Amino acid sequence: MNTSNESPRPVLIGGEWVVASSAKSFRATNPSTGEPIPSLFPVSDWSDCNKALASAASAFRESRNLPGSRIADFLDDYAKRIEGEKDALVALAHEESALPKSPRLADVELPRTINQLRLAAEAARNESWRTATIDRKANIRSCYRALGPIAVFGPNNFPFAFNSIAGGDFAAAIAAGNPVIAKANSSHPGTTEHFGKLAAAALRATGMPEGLVQLIYRTSHEDGERLVADPRLAAVGYTGARTAGLQLKAVADRVGKPFYAELSSVNPVVFLPGALRERGVKLAEEFVGSGLMGAGQFCTNPGLLLFIRSDETEQFVQTVVDKYTSTAAGTLLSPNVESSLVKSIQVLTNAGAQLLTGGTKINGPRCAVANTVLRVTGTQMLTDPHTFQTEAFGNAVLIAVCDSHQQIVSIIEALEGNLTGTIYSDTQGHDDHDYIKIADALEQRVGRVLNDKMPTGVAVSPAMNHGGPYPATSHPGFTAVGIPASLLRFAKLTCYDAVRESRLPEILRNENPTGFTWRSIDGKWTTGTIESA
């Protein structure tokens, strides 16, 4: 509650920055100092949500029929404005997240964000993602079209690339022709507000519908659930905490609404004996670099390592322990992340995991926990697989030392769904027989299989799958990264049976509206017209 005379920042609704309807407010915390950041942000009540929904529904009547080139113009203009505000955005995100200005924010994440928007613009302009399909004999035509207003809930660990008003879900939803109601993450509201100002300017400059992009910062749990359930909202993109995500998903499920959530993942990494014999010390160093990158606060952070008992395994474990002990712990994103990490470590140790190093909060105001390594046997892991795959989000790792390759396979089969799964193997092929067995099991538990490569990076590639079986995500058939595939989450397949050509969407008419969009005509992919197909 705001007890001072300071006014909270406005919310973006219907193309205007307006005073929020509620008197409740909050401040973000600087995780480097533990102190509140001065800017005050509102907690929106249902009145704000209702207005945003009404505006989004109105905007959708126009945006669903906009040519892809118009949408692309907005995305390109927005990307250019972000590029011009690089220094201000980096400074805000650094203060709110403690992530390094360089290289993380300025040299990696912000350029990635700009690139995503431009790739989304390219997909919107091309329109091949719509998968236009024409069956002339049956006189049936179909394509993917915009789904409706989308709510995007952004995470705390990527203030740029997954931001609710600038990140991957936002770009995909807009490129598909949908309005977006962005719900800022409470850890970086100032960064999100700055993005919102740039988005609003781009909307005006390109003549977009006023309610195409809207921004609120926080709601009560009740109003958040009511927002998700509202029939004016077509779908939700959510990246964040598992408990809150499942609560919102339950609401969406009750009303039959698509809810694309990224929830949790321990990202298992298997080190086969041949790889350890060949280059064990190098692999230990490679893992440490990945495991401690960004204080381990990546959704693809390798959090579970699987080995077969051997002298090389013991050397690997000791190297990791030594490096985790001697390396300064990074700053965590928020007090909530800090407390959640300590709690997860306690869950693992209470279940019988051996604490090799770390495990406690570092004294002082900074949000930080000592770099943590825990160890279990393969038998322990199989005795209580549910507990031992508790996600310790941050700079912590659980090492499971197994008796055999088959025990590793059994552990993998007992895992929940994950975003990634990695196998390190001998470069000369000596591990091939065991690799095949383990990879076969791993494929059923992850969205992305890696070989001899840490999973931390997620390339913005058309072939990328940033998804996986539940609870890594709520649907294993879709990806949050990888354009144009990511657009299909926010689209509906519409079929036109015996509809006159003049009444069809342009993409399904005889003439190819762009001249370069790929369409399937009588089973043949072509960019031509009906007459030349």
Q: How far is CA 525 from CA 143, 144, 227, 510, in A?
A: 14, 16, 41, 14
Could you say which DSSP state residue 441 is in? Answer: H
Pairing of the two strands 235-239 and 150-153: parallel
Specify the DSSP element, H or E, that contains 398.
strand 396-402
495 catalytically annotated? no
Choose the catalytic residue: 95, 127, 143, 299: 299
Terminus-to-terminus CA distance in the chain, angstroms? 65
Task: State the amino acid at position 80 in one-letter form.
Answer: K
6 catalytically annotated? no
Residue given tokens 């007090």 in the structure block: 335
Choose the catalytic residue: 95, 127, 262, 416: 262
Task: State the amino acid at position 77 in one-letter form.
Answer: D
CB 86 within 8 A of CB 110: yes
Contacts of 366 (CB under 8 A, 6+ apart): 31, 32, 33, 34, 331
What is the three-state SS of 330-372?
CCCCCHHHHHHHHHHHHHHHHCCCEEEECCCECCCCCCCECCE
Calculate the CA 278 to chain-centre distance: 35
Return phi, psi of residue 7, to 5°. Answer: -95, 140
CB 44 within 8 A of CB 10: no
Q: Annotated catalytic sites, by residue?
A: 262, 299
